[in-house]
Amino acid sequence: MSVLELSELLRNGALALVALVGLYLAWKRVFAANRQAEASTRQAELARRDFVAELFNRAVGQLSDDRLEVRLGAVYTLRQIAEDFPDLAEPVYRLLATYIRQNSKDYGDLSPPPDIDEIMKMVQRWLELKN
């Protein structure tokens, strides 16, 4: 083997070694970026669930408001929570069913207020879908 061939072999070996080190470093960087992205996704999901919990609590409190529009807003908020978070649907509908039971009144020939009517429709649809 000549000096030129040996020099070329060493150069190619060094290039291959540098390429392997580069690949390793790139893999480490991608791995770290992936872990950071997963952590950010988890943090965003936790923040969203905290926001939903706050919405839920606020809506529950608004169910007893004197103004119809506030009560209807609370009902629609709870419905949206149930649609967006299937794992919270059952607690939402159970809460609304309990609300109707606790606030049941005899309306005689009159129809119930729009908020109670909307809750009854929502709970009825949920029960039909559940069965």
Predicted confidence (pLDDT) at residue 115 exceeds the cutoff of 80: yes
Does the pTM of the predicted model rise above 0.75? no
Q: Give the span between the Cα atoms of 87 and 7, in whole angstroms.
A: 67
> What pLDDT is stored for residue 26 in this prediction?
93
Q: What is the DSSP string of 29-61?
A: HHHHHHHHHHHHHHHHHHHHHHHHHHHHHHHHH
pLDDT above 90 covers what percent of the chain? 73
Predicted confidence (pLDDT) at residue 1 exceeds the cutoff of 80: no
